[in-house]
Amino acid sequence: MRLHKSNRRPAAAAVEFAVLLPFLMFVGVIATDWARLLHYTITIEACARNGALYAADQETVAKSPYANVTEAALAEAPYLNAVATVTSTYTTESPGTAVVTVKVEMPFQTITNFPGVPSSQTLTRSVQMRVAPLMTN
């Protein structure tokens, strides 16, 4: 059976699309925010890990091109330099055993501004590593 031109309803498809478009746009913006949040969370986790690796190996510190823990932590993510805060602390667990903790914080602003969706939050990740003892020859 063949459809005649009079049986087609192109206007119905346009109306359905117009009704669904706001919902599709909302879902797209929310998905974009979640993707951005995931990206920045993974990035600051990697920054904290890089900073802890730098601070934990005292022999590498002397040979490293980085001036401090902050430079080492943010080396892989230069676009975070203006907004991320890096702090590092050394603690002693027992005689001869030290631990370094590197914490990276970054403010995150969402694209959406809907009720129930937080528009601003601080992303925080910290990594703790034992400091390698110095090798003596």
What DSSP string describes 27-45? Answer: HHHHHHHHHHHHHHHHHHH
Please list the alpha-helical segments (H only) found in 4-93.
Answer: 10-56, 58-63, 69-73
* pLDDT value at 22 more than 70: yes
What is the reported pLDDT for 8? 66
- Can you give the residue ranges of every domain in the chain? 11-130
Report the pLDDT value the prediction gives residue 100, as an integer from 0 to 100.
94
pLDDT digits (tens, 9 = 90+) for 32-56: 988 999 999 999 999 999 999 999 9
Which residue from 102, 72, 77 is spatially nearest to 87, judged by alpha carbons?
102
Ranked by mean pLDDT, which of 4-8, 9-13, 36-40 comes out on top?
36-40
What does the pLDDT read at residue 101? 96
pTM of the predicted protein model: 0.78
- For 85-128, the pLDDT digits (tens) are 999 999 998 887 899 999 999 999 888 877 777 788 899 999 99
Name the token pair of 57: 């190996």
Query: 90 forms bridges with which residues in the sheet?
Result: 100
